[in-house]
Structure 1
Amino acid sequence: MFDHIADALAQPHLIRLRPGLYTLRFESMKVISALGAVERLMADGVIHPGDTLVDSSSGVYAHALALACQKYGFHCHIIASPIVDAALRAQLQVLGATVDQPDATDDAKLDQGGRVRKVLEYVERNPGAHWMRQYHDQIHYHGYEDAAKSMMKQLDVPELVLVGGVGSGASTGGLATALRRHGVDARLLGIQPFGSVSFASQDVEDPEFLIAGLGSGIHFGNIDYDAYDDIHWIDFTYARSGSIELLREHGVFAGLSSGAAYAVATWQASGHGFDDRHPVVFVTPDTGHRYVHTVFENPDSAVVRDTDHYPLVVTEPVELRLPWCRTDWKRHGVNFPQPKSEF
């Protein structure tokens, strides 16, 4: 039994899709991140009930933070991305959060950077407001500790491959860090969309893929670049085909980040012949509801992934091109410059 809905949403399910291939499936992954961060900040005396917790979000973290605030008695203020829809905005408002949603621009970097600047302005104007820094503080790693322990217990293997979107760095970074700390040899494959600055693909345009959530338009300070073994860049068409195949073949209804992770995970697992002794686990961070029109309508139009020629192996950013590339990052990626912080 759970005392709050946030506690229930924070519990992922490990699902075996076929031998050697598993998904760690969340209904709303950022809940585990927000709860862990709020609980740690409370324990450290940084925040106190009655304070206002503030952050920028493209949607999922906003909902997570609003739930954490309701559970622990904080006020919540969200600087929302233009892609936050009416259904989520209504939930936030009923949960007691205040929402500021700036107009969209044609530049994701301007959108993300502008929202963070609005957060800083809000905190400066409002005593008792605390910026949660979901993009910039590794305190968001802490919530993934229990999920990693549960996965270890269920799989009971000395090594595994973990696949998932990089995004703000907290989910895959937090899971891999915890697994390694507890003795599991976890090889970490991070996924980026083209157009993201985090791993230097900002000059490769994929107009159909919104980078929010999976990639970044600004520097994300909590990404541990030394945590990743491989980086895969994948475009909208391949991520969409992964989402549709994941639902069609396994009944898992999830979004584009999950579709991209499924595509990479199945490619990786096939190299071991889908063997439970070498499990590949990919992260499914949320459901597919907000992707119904962009992903799941006309499913027969999805492209068939060409795994004979892709992923294309690259060694520097100038070689990147659609639809799918990978590099042996080796936990340092010396040929791929990291963005500098603006905040």
Structure 2
Amino acid sequence: MLKNTDRKNEGSALDSLCRPNLYDVTDNISALQFEVMKIVPARHIIERAIEEGRITKSTTIVESSSGTFAVALGIVCAHYGFKLKLVTGPVSPIIQWRLKGLGADVDIIMPTGGEGGIQQDRMNHLKTILESSDDIFWPQQHSNPLNPLAYENLVSKYQEDLADIDYLICSTGTGGSITGISRKLREFNPNLKVVGVDHNLSCLFGPTSGVSSRLCAENYHPMLGSGSDVVHPNLDHTVCDFVHWVPVNEMILAAHNLHNRSGIYIGPTGAATYRVAEHIVQNDSGAKALCVFCDHGVRYADTVYNPEWLESYGSDVDVKENSAPIKVSSSKDVAGDWAYMDWGRRSYKDVLGYDCIPRTARL
């Protein structure tokens, strides 16, 4: 018999993992730090499906993910005893180890170079799995409105603590966290400025030049939680006042600085939000910024925090002294350097002049 999800279980492991730490990094920069951020929507989606009778003990959960949502689903499914089938791209050994330990069955798909990138390659494989059985549940993290709603529910608990924040700085990725967190924060803080942080090879805010360092190009898919080759429906572009495209060397610098100064040990995507926050508070006197740190640094022990791995990229890891973002008027001007754009809470079509097609990786 399935667990009654209506019962309060405040002391459970899932409750603990869904509860971020909120703390001050500096006088002007705060952090909302998660162990595995996407466990918030993963749990919400699965428990809603249980309540609606869409999942039984015989159901297999299937999803396409190479990052924190894969680990999050692994944790939730292990908690409930559900079978999990994941379609991923190349992932780090620690992620493979975690997914195996959590009992997930994993298919690793290599990119073919086709339209829609590796996300579309994974969706093509997922389609064959969905067609193989009727007793399958697909959370659809990229388009399920329960994804951003889960973050709205979470943030409502921090209303009093976050009422005086001037800037929310969050990575984009599938769009669930930045959309859900910003919508809820603006209910009690309408003047909040929201900054989306993206990778400089991503198409989430329009196609970029495609120019990048080897460091950025080789670690776009296997390492990062930001960026995408397709635009997902859960990303509401109109929540963003600004967009920053942050190259990997800037992420690495921020990750090391955070650790060396304070012992905070996080992944490069969260570190990128801190790098942007530093720039913002230096140039907006008295402003208070909130960063979202989406995962722990252990996933990157063999890369971001490994001296031999860093040395293998030579000068690609170097950051210009006193680096600052270059202002651009179009995503096509984004190349290998840190860049930003005034987005102005506009839709993709308002900025680019056309709809983003495909809206998401398609079956």
Answer whether TM exceeds 0.5 for this pair: yes
Q: Please name the residue that 1:232 is paired with.
A: 244
Q: Which amino acid aligns with 1:112?
A: Q
- What is the alpha-carbon distance in structure 1 between the residues aligned to residue 273 and residue 114 of structure 2? 25
Q: Please name the residue that 1:320 is paired with.
A: 334
Q: Does 1:121 align with 2:137?
A: no
CA 1:270/1:290 → structure 2, altered by over 3 Å: closer, same or farther?
same
Q: Please name the residue that 1:199 is paired with.
A: 205
Q: Does 1:335 align with 2:342?
A: no
Q: Please name the residue that 1:214 is paired with.
A: 226
Counterpart selection for 2:318 from 300, 303, 308: 303
CA 1:182/1:72 → structure 2, altered by over 3 Å: closer, same or farther?
farther
Counterpart selection for 1:41 from 42, 45, 49: 49
Please list every run of 5 or more consecutive structure 1 residues that lacks an aligned counterpart in the other structure: none
Q: 1:89 offset after TM fit, Å?
A: 2.6
Q: Does 1:188 align with 2:194?
A: yes
Please list every run of 5 or more consecutive structure 2 residues that lacks an aligned counterpart in the other structure: 1-8
Task: Specify the SS of the correspondent of 2:170.
Answer: strand
Q: 1:129 offset after TM fit, Å?
A: 0.8
Q: CA RMSD in A?
A: 2.5
CA contact 2:209–2:333 (8 Å) conserved in 1: no
CA 1:8/1:282 → structure 2, altered by over 3 Å: closer, same or farther?
same
- What is the alpha-carbon distance in structure 2 between the residues aligned to residue 91 and residue 320 of structure 1? 35
CA contact 1:33–1:144 (8 Å) conserved in 2: yes
Q: Please name the residue that 1:21 is paired with.
A: 29
Deviation per residue, 1:155-214 (Å, 9 max, x gap): 442x53110110000111111112123455432100111111211244323332333420
CA 1:40/1:226 → structure 2, altered by over 3 Å: closer, same or farther?
farther
Q: Please name the residue that 1:147 is paired with.
A: 154
CA contact 1:267–1:307 (8 Å) conserved in 2: no
Q: Which amino acid aligns with 1:211?
A: Y
CA contact 2:130–2:136 (8 Å) conserved in 1: yes
- What is the alpha-carbon distance in structure 2 between the residues aligned to residue 78 and residue 3 of structure 1? 28
Task: Specify the SS of the correspondent of 1:208.
Answer: helix
Q: Which amino acid aligns with 1:139?
A: L
CA 1:290/1:91 → structure 2, altered by over 3 Å: closer, same or farther?
closer
Counterpart selection for 1:253 from 261, 265, 271: 265
Q: Please name the residue that 1:242 is paired with.
A: 254
- What is the alpha-carbon distance in structure 2 between the residues aligned to residue 181 and residue 42 of structure 1? 30
Q: 1:66 offset after TM fit, Å?
A: 1.6
Q: Does 1:290 align with 2:315?
A: no
Q: Which amino acid aligns with 1:295?
A: V
Paired positions, count: 337
CA contact 1:136–1:221 (8 Å) conserved in 2: yes
Q: Which amino acid aligns with 2:325?
A: P
- What is the alpha-carbon distance in structure 2 between the residues aligned to residue 82 and residue 105 of structure 1? 12
Q: 1:304 offset after TM fit, Å?
A: 4.2
Task: Specify the SS of the correspondent of 1:118.
Answer: helix
**Greater than 6 Å deviation, 4+ residue runs:** none
- What is the alpha-carbon distance in structure 2 between the residues aligned to residue 230 and residue 131 of structure 1? 33
**Match runs of 1:27-176 below 5 Å:** 27-85=35-93, 87-105=94-112, 109-157=116-164, 159-176=165-182
Task: Specify the SS of the correspondent of 1:153.
Answer: coil
Task: Specify the SS of the correspondent of 2:335.
Answer: coil
CA 1:270/1:49 → structure 2, altered by over 3 Å: closer, same or farther?
farther
Q: Does 1:280 align with 2:280?
A: no
Task: Specify the SS of the correspondent of 1:176.
Answer: helix
Task: Specify the SS of the correspondent of 1:22.
Answer: strand
CA 1:304/1:197 → structure 2, altered by over 3 Å: closer, same or farther?
closer
State the TM-score, normalizing by the size of structure 1. Answer: 0.89
State the TM-score, normalizing by the size of structure 2. Answer: 0.84
- What is the alpha-carbon distance in structure 2 between the residues aligned to residue 186 and residue 45 of structure 1? 39
Q: 1:53 offset after TM fit, Å?
A: 1.4
Task: Specify the SS of the correspondent of 1:76.
Answer: strand
